[in-house]
Amino acid sequence: MSAKVSIVIPLYNKAPYIGRALDSIRAQTFGDYEVIVVDDGSTDGGSDLVIGYGDARIRLVRQANAGPGPARNRGISEAASPFVTFLDADDEWMPSFLEKSLGLLDHYGPEVACVTSSYLLEALGRSMTPVWRKRGLSEGVVRLSAATPPRLAVHLLAFLCPWSTVARVETVRKWGGFYGKGKCLYGEDSYLWLKVMLNETLAINLEPLVHYHTEASGLARNTRGPRPVEPILTDPGDLFAACPPPLQELLRKILAIRALKTACVLGYWGRWREGRNLLKRFCSWSAWRLPHFGTAQICASPLGAMAGAVMRSLQAAT
Protein backbone atom coordinates (compact mmCIF):
# COMPACT_ATOMS: atom_id res chain seq x y z
CA MET A 1 0.00 0.00 0.00
CA SER A 2 1.44 3.36 -1.04
CA ALA A 3 2.04 6.26 1.33
CA LYS A 4 -0.24 9.30 1.23
CA VAL A 5 2.50 11.74 0.23
CA SER A 6 5.80 11.47 -1.63
CA ILE A 7 8.58 13.83 -0.54
CA VAL A 8 11.11 14.59 -3.26
CA ILE A 9 14.53 16.00 -2.30
CA PRO A 10 16.92 17.07 -5.08
CA LEU A 11 20.46 16.60 -3.75
CA TYR A 12 23.50 18.23 -5.27
CA ASN A 13 26.56 18.76 -3.07
CA LYS A 14 24.63 19.61 0.08
CA ALA A 15 26.23 17.05 2.41
CA PRO A 16 26.49 19.54 5.32
CA TYR A 17 22.73 20.16 5.23
CA ILE A 18 20.93 17.00 4.05
CA GLY A 19 20.85 15.56 7.57
CA ARG A 20 18.98 18.61 8.83
CA ALA A 21 16.40 18.24 6.07
CA LEU A 22 15.89 14.53 6.70
CA ASP A 23 15.69 15.05 10.47
CA SER A 24 12.91 17.60 9.94
CA ILE A 25 11.00 15.00 7.91
CA ARG A 26 11.45 12.29 10.51
CA ALA A 27 10.18 14.74 13.14
CA GLN A 28 6.86 15.24 11.31
CA THR A 29 3.65 14.63 13.24
CA PHE A 30 2.33 12.90 10.08
CA GLY A 31 4.21 9.73 9.25
CA ASP A 32 2.50 8.23 6.18
CA TYR A 33 5.10 9.32 3.64
CA GLU A 34 7.86 8.11 1.36
CA VAL A 35 11.05 10.11 0.76
CA ILE A 36 12.75 10.06 -2.64
CA VAL A 37 16.20 11.64 -2.55
CA VAL A 38 17.46 12.25 -6.07
CA ASP A 39 21.24 12.49 -6.06
CA ASP A 40 21.87 14.78 -9.03
CA GLY A 41 25.50 13.87 -9.58
CA SER A 42 26.83 14.94 -6.17
CA THR A 43 30.52 14.59 -5.43
CA ASP A 44 30.64 15.42 -1.70
CA GLY A 45 29.37 12.17 -0.18
CA GLY A 46 25.87 13.40 0.63
CA SER A 47 24.27 10.27 -0.76
CA ASP A 48 26.23 8.14 1.74
CA LEU A 49 24.65 10.14 4.56
CA VAL A 50 21.20 9.42 3.12
CA ILE A 51 21.90 5.69 2.95
CA GLY A 52 23.17 5.79 6.51
CA TYR A 53 19.72 6.69 7.86
CA GLY A 54 18.56 3.12 7.36
CA ASP A 55 14.90 4.23 7.21
CA ALA A 56 12.73 2.10 4.92
CA ARG A 57 10.68 5.19 4.03
CA ILE A 58 13.77 6.91 2.57
CA ARG A 59 15.21 5.76 -0.73
CA LEU A 60 17.97 7.12 -2.91
CA VAL A 61 17.90 7.52 -6.68
CA ARG A 62 21.04 8.51 -8.57
CA GLN A 63 21.39 10.30 -11.88
CA ALA A 64 24.00 12.32 -13.79
CA ASN A 65 23.93 16.01 -12.99
CA ALA A 66 21.04 17.64 -14.87
CA GLY A 67 19.89 20.47 -12.59
CA PRO A 68 17.11 20.93 -10.03
CA GLY A 69 14.21 20.71 -12.49
CA PRO A 70 15.12 17.30 -13.92
CA ALA A 71 16.05 16.06 -10.43
CA ARG A 72 12.60 16.93 -9.09
CA ASN A 73 10.98 15.51 -12.23
CA ARG A 74 12.82 12.23 -11.66
CA GLY A 75 11.33 12.15 -8.18
CA ILE A 76 7.87 12.85 -9.57
CA SER A 77 8.25 9.91 -11.96
CA GLU A 78 9.19 7.67 -9.03
CA ALA A 79 6.40 8.92 -6.73
CA ALA A 80 3.79 6.34 -5.75
CA SER A 81 1.52 8.62 -3.67
CA PRO A 82 -1.50 10.78 -4.52
CA PHE A 83 0.27 13.87 -3.14
CA VAL A 84 3.79 15.16 -3.68
CA THR A 85 5.94 17.85 -2.08
CA PHE A 86 9.50 19.01 -2.53
CA LEU A 87 11.97 19.80 0.23
CA ASP A 88 15.29 21.31 -0.79
CA ALA A 89 18.28 19.61 0.79
CA ASP A 90 19.29 22.73 2.72
CA ASP A 91 15.86 23.64 4.12
CA GLU A 92 13.72 22.16 6.89
CA TRP A 93 10.05 21.82 7.78
CA MET A 94 8.37 22.51 11.08
CA PRO A 95 6.98 19.30 12.62
CA SER A 96 3.37 20.04 11.59
CA PHE A 97 4.06 20.91 7.94
CA LEU A 98 2.72 17.69 6.43
CA GLU A 99 -0.15 17.26 8.88
CA LYS A 100 -1.48 20.78 8.39
CA SER A 101 -0.90 20.92 4.62
CA LEU A 102 -2.61 17.60 3.94
CA GLY A 103 -5.37 18.51 6.38
CA LEU A 104 -6.09 21.67 4.40
CA LEU A 105 -6.19 19.74 1.14
CA ASP A 106 -8.63 17.25 2.67
CA HIS A 107 -10.70 20.16 4.00
CA TYR A 108 -10.88 22.06 0.70
CA GLY A 109 -11.58 18.96 -1.36
CA PRO A 110 -10.39 17.54 -4.69
CA GLU A 111 -10.99 20.74 -6.65
CA VAL A 112 -7.98 22.34 -4.94
CA ALA A 113 -4.75 21.35 -6.67
CA CYS A 114 -2.23 22.41 -4.05
CA VAL A 115 -1.67 24.30 -0.84
CA THR A 116 1.29 26.60 -0.14
CA SER A 117 2.29 27.79 3.32
CA SER A 118 4.29 30.74 4.57
CA TYR A 119 7.77 30.40 6.04
CA LEU A 120 10.46 31.79 8.30
CA LEU A 121 13.33 33.41 6.43
CA GLU A 122 16.26 32.22 8.50
CA ALA A 123 18.69 34.79 7.08
CA LEU A 124 16.61 37.53 8.73
CA GLY A 125 15.23 35.47 11.60
CA ARG A 126 11.64 36.48 10.96
CA SER A 127 8.35 35.33 9.53
CA MET A 128 7.52 36.40 5.98
CA THR A 129 3.77 36.32 6.64
CA PRO A 130 3.44 40.10 7.21
CA VAL A 131 5.21 40.70 3.90
CA TRP A 132 2.80 38.46 1.99
CA ARG A 133 -0.23 40.02 3.70
CA LYS A 134 1.04 43.47 2.70
CA ARG A 135 1.31 42.23 -0.89
CA GLY A 136 -2.37 41.32 -0.89
CA LEU A 137 -2.34 37.60 -0.20
CA SER A 138 -4.91 36.19 2.21
CA GLU A 139 -5.68 32.72 3.48
CA GLY A 140 -8.10 30.52 1.61
CA VAL A 141 -8.87 29.33 -1.89
CA VAL A 142 -7.68 31.26 -4.96
CA ARG A 143 -8.67 30.94 -8.62
CA LEU A 144 -7.32 33.40 -11.17
CA SER A 145 -9.71 35.17 -13.52
CA ALA A 146 -9.46 37.84 -16.17
CA ALA A 147 -10.25 40.37 -13.42
CA THR A 148 -7.32 39.34 -11.19
CA PRO A 149 -4.92 42.28 -10.71
CA PRO A 150 -1.66 41.38 -12.49
CA ARG A 151 0.47 42.53 -9.56
CA LEU A 152 -1.45 40.21 -7.21
CA ALA A 153 -0.87 37.31 -9.62
CA VAL A 154 2.86 38.08 -9.66
CA HIS A 155 2.95 38.05 -5.85
CA LEU A 156 1.09 34.74 -5.80
CA LEU A 157 3.62 33.26 -8.22
CA ALA A 158 6.47 34.41 -5.96
CA PHE A 159 4.74 32.85 -2.95
CA LEU A 160 4.48 29.42 -4.56
CA CYS A 161 7.71 27.56 -3.73
CA PRO A 162 8.44 23.83 -4.05
CA TRP A 163 9.59 23.47 -0.43
CA SER A 164 6.40 25.03 0.97
CA THR A 165 3.83 23.45 -1.37
CA VAL A 166 1.97 20.13 -1.23
CA ALA A 167 0.28 19.27 -4.53
CA ARG A 168 -1.78 16.53 -6.09
CA VAL A 169 0.66 14.44 -8.06
CA GLU A 170 -1.63 14.18 -11.08
CA THR A 171 -1.71 18.00 -11.28
CA VAL A 172 2.08 18.26 -11.31
CA ARG A 173 2.33 15.57 -13.98
CA LYS A 174 -0.49 17.09 -16.04
CA TRP A 175 1.34 20.42 -16.37
CA GLY A 176 4.68 18.89 -17.28
CA GLY A 177 6.63 19.14 -14.07
CA PHE A 178 9.50 21.56 -13.54
CA TYR A 179 11.36 23.29 -16.35
CA GLY A 180 14.29 21.09 -17.31
CA LYS A 181 15.89 22.45 -20.46
CA GLY A 182 19.53 23.49 -20.54
CA LYS A 183 20.34 22.61 -16.91
CA CYS A 184 18.31 25.62 -15.74
CA LEU A 185 19.37 26.76 -12.26
CA TYR A 186 16.89 29.58 -11.60
CA GLY A 187 13.14 29.92 -12.05
CA GLU A 188 12.54 26.30 -13.06
CA ASP A 189 9.83 26.10 -10.41
CA SER A 190 7.99 29.26 -11.51
CA TYR A 191 7.48 27.73 -14.94
CA LEU A 192 5.43 24.91 -13.41
CA TRP A 193 3.58 26.99 -10.83
CA LEU A 194 2.53 29.57 -13.40
CA LYS A 195 0.88 26.85 -15.48
CA VAL A 196 -0.85 25.54 -12.35
CA MET A 197 -1.99 29.05 -11.35
CA LEU A 198 -3.54 29.70 -14.75
CA ASN A 199 -5.50 26.45 -14.81
CA GLU A 200 -6.21 25.24 -11.28
CA THR A 201 -7.67 26.29 -7.94
CA LEU A 202 -5.05 26.84 -5.23
CA ALA A 203 -5.06 27.29 -1.47
CA ILE A 204 -2.96 29.72 0.58
CA ASN A 205 -1.93 29.11 4.18
CA LEU A 206 -0.18 32.08 5.80
CA GLU A 207 0.94 30.17 8.88
CA PRO A 208 4.75 29.74 8.68
CA LEU A 209 5.54 26.02 8.45
CA VAL A 210 9.00 26.06 6.85
CA HIS A 211 12.47 27.19 7.83
CA TYR A 212 13.84 28.62 4.58
CA HIS A 213 17.65 28.80 4.53
CA THR A 214 19.62 30.81 1.97
CA GLU A 215 23.13 30.50 3.39
CA ALA A 216 23.96 27.49 1.21
CA SER A 217 22.59 28.96 -2.02
CA GLY A 218 25.12 30.25 -4.50
CA LEU A 219 22.44 32.32 -6.24
CA ALA A 220 21.32 33.90 -2.98
CA ARG A 221 24.88 34.95 -2.15
CA ASN A 222 25.84 36.07 -5.66
CA THR A 223 27.37 39.57 -5.64
CA ARG A 224 29.19 39.48 -8.99
CA GLY A 225 26.29 39.58 -11.40
CA PRO A 226 22.55 39.12 -11.87
CA ARG A 227 20.74 35.85 -11.57
CA PRO A 228 20.06 34.04 -14.85
CA VAL A 229 16.99 35.28 -16.71
CA GLU A 230 14.16 32.96 -15.74
CA PRO A 231 12.69 30.58 -18.33
CA ILE A 232 9.23 32.14 -18.16
CA LEU A 233 10.92 35.03 -20.03
CA THR A 234 13.40 33.13 -22.19
CA ASP A 235 11.03 30.34 -23.27
CA PRO A 236 7.38 31.36 -22.71
CA GLY A 237 5.86 29.40 -25.57
CA ASP A 238 4.58 26.49 -23.48
CA LEU A 239 3.05 28.94 -21.01
CA PHE A 240 0.87 30.56 -23.67
CA ALA A 241 -0.01 27.13 -25.08
CA ALA A 242 -1.22 26.01 -21.63
CA CYS A 243 -3.02 29.26 -20.79
CA PRO A 244 -6.82 29.39 -21.18
CA PRO A 245 -7.90 32.04 -23.72
CA PRO A 246 -9.64 34.28 -21.12
CA LEU A 247 -6.37 34.55 -19.17
CA GLN A 248 -4.00 35.25 -22.06
CA GLU A 249 -3.98 38.99 -21.37
CA LEU A 250 -3.34 38.39 -17.66
CA LEU A 251 -0.41 36.14 -18.58
CA ARG A 252 1.02 38.83 -20.86
CA LYS A 253 0.88 41.35 -18.01
CA ILE A 254 2.45 38.88 -15.54
CA LEU A 255 5.36 38.36 -17.91
CA ALA A 256 5.62 42.09 -18.57
CA ILE A 257 5.95 42.83 -14.84
CA ARG A 258 8.65 40.19 -14.47
CA ALA A 259 10.43 41.53 -17.57
CA LEU A 260 10.36 45.09 -16.22
CA LYS A 261 11.90 44.05 -12.91
CA THR A 262 14.50 41.87 -14.65
CA ALA A 263 15.44 44.75 -16.97
CA CYS A 264 16.12 46.91 -13.91
CA VAL A 265 18.45 44.27 -12.47
CA LEU A 266 20.25 43.72 -15.77
CA GLY A 267 20.78 47.45 -16.18
CA TYR A 268 22.26 47.71 -12.70
CA TRP A 269 24.86 45.11 -13.72
CA GLY A 270 25.68 46.85 -16.98
CA ARG A 271 23.75 44.43 -19.20
CA TRP A 272 21.32 47.06 -20.39
CA ARG A 273 21.07 45.69 -23.94
CA GLU A 274 19.63 42.42 -22.61
CA GLY A 275 17.20 44.43 -20.53
CA ARG A 276 16.17 46.48 -23.56
CA ASN A 277 15.55 43.30 -25.56
CA LEU A 278 13.28 41.99 -22.78
CA LEU A 279 11.29 45.22 -22.82
CA LYS A 280 10.91 45.04 -26.60
CA ARG A 281 9.65 41.48 -26.32
CA PHE A 282 7.22 41.84 -23.42
CA CYS A 283 6.41 45.52 -22.78
CA SER A 284 4.72 47.95 -25.15
CA TRP A 285 4.24 51.57 -24.16
CA SER A 286 0.63 50.73 -23.27
CA ALA A 287 2.07 48.95 -20.21
CA TRP A 288 3.14 52.24 -18.60
CA ARG A 289 0.87 51.62 -15.60
CA LEU A 290 2.72 48.44 -14.61
CA PRO A 291 5.24 48.47 -11.72
CA HIS A 292 8.83 49.54 -12.53
CA PHE A 293 7.90 50.74 -16.03
CA GLY A 294 9.66 54.11 -15.88
CA THR A 295 12.65 52.79 -13.96
CA ALA A 296 13.08 49.92 -16.42
CA GLN A 297 13.20 52.31 -19.38
CA ILE A 298 16.13 54.11 -17.76
CA CYS A 299 17.90 50.95 -16.62
CA ALA A 300 17.65 49.43 -20.10
CA SER A 301 19.82 52.21 -21.50
CA PRO A 302 23.46 53.35 -21.28
CA LEU A 303 22.38 55.79 -18.56
CA GLY A 304 21.13 52.91 -16.45
CA ALA A 305 24.40 51.04 -16.87
CA MET A 306 26.39 54.09 -15.77
CA ALA A 307 24.16 54.60 -12.73
CA GLY A 308 24.54 50.93 -11.83
CA ALA A 309 28.33 51.16 -12.04
CA VAL A 310 28.32 54.15 -9.69
CA MET A 311 26.05 52.37 -7.21
CA ARG A 312 28.21 49.24 -7.23
CA SER A 313 31.31 51.32 -6.59
CA LEU A 314 29.68 53.07 -3.67
CA GLN A 315 28.51 49.78 -2.19
CA ALA A 316 31.98 48.26 -2.58
CA ALA A 317 33.48 51.20 -0.72
CA THR A 318 31.22 50.81 2.33
Verify that 200 and 240 share a domain, yes or no.
no
- Tell me, yes or no, whether 14 lies in a domain: yes
Distance of CA 86 to the CA centre of its chain: 10
In this structure, are 171 and 262 located in the same domain? Answer: no
One domain for residues 102 and 239? no
Same domain, 205 and 310: no
Q: Does 123 score more than 90 pLDDT?
A: no
CB 6 within 8 A of CB 61: no
The percent of residues above 70 in pLDDT, for the chain, comes to: 97
Q: List all residues 6 or more positions away from 84 whose beta carbon is below 8 Å from its beta carbon.
A: 5, 6, 7, 8, 75, 76, 166, 167, 168, 169, 172
Task: Give the CATH number of the domain where residue 16 resides.
Answer: 3.90.550.10
One domain for residues 276 and 237: yes
Q: Which residues of 125-161 are buried (b: 16+ CB within 10 A; e: fewer)?
A: eeebbeebeeeebeeeebebeeebebeebbbbbebbb
**14 and 150: one domain?**
yes
pLDDT tens readout for residues 288-300: 999 999 999 999 9
Q: If pLDDT is split at 50, 70 and 90, which confidence band does 25 have?
A: very high
Are residues 202 and 263 located together in one domain of the fold? no
Query: Is 222 inside any structural domain?
Result: no
Residues 6+ apart with CB under 8 A from 167: 83, 84, 85, 113, 114, 196
Tell me, what amino acid is at 126? R
Query: Any idea of the CA torsion for 279, 285, 286, 288, to the nearest 10 degrees?
Result: 80
| % of the chain exceeding 90 in pLDDT | 91
Residue where a domain terminates, one of 179, 212, 245: 212
My answer on whether 274 and 157 are in the same domain is no
What average pLDDT score do residues 164-184 get?
A: 96
- Domain of 295, in residue numbers: 231-317
Q: Return the closest-CA partner of residue 191 out of 179, 183, 201, 199.
A: 179
Predicted TM-score (pTM) of the model is 0.94
Note whether residue 219 is domain-resident: no
How many domains does the chain contain in total?
A: 2
In this predicted structure, the answer to whether residue 134 has a pLDDT above a threshold of 60 is: yes
Q: What distance in Å separates the CA atoms of residue 69 and residue 26, rounded to the nearest whole number?
A: 25
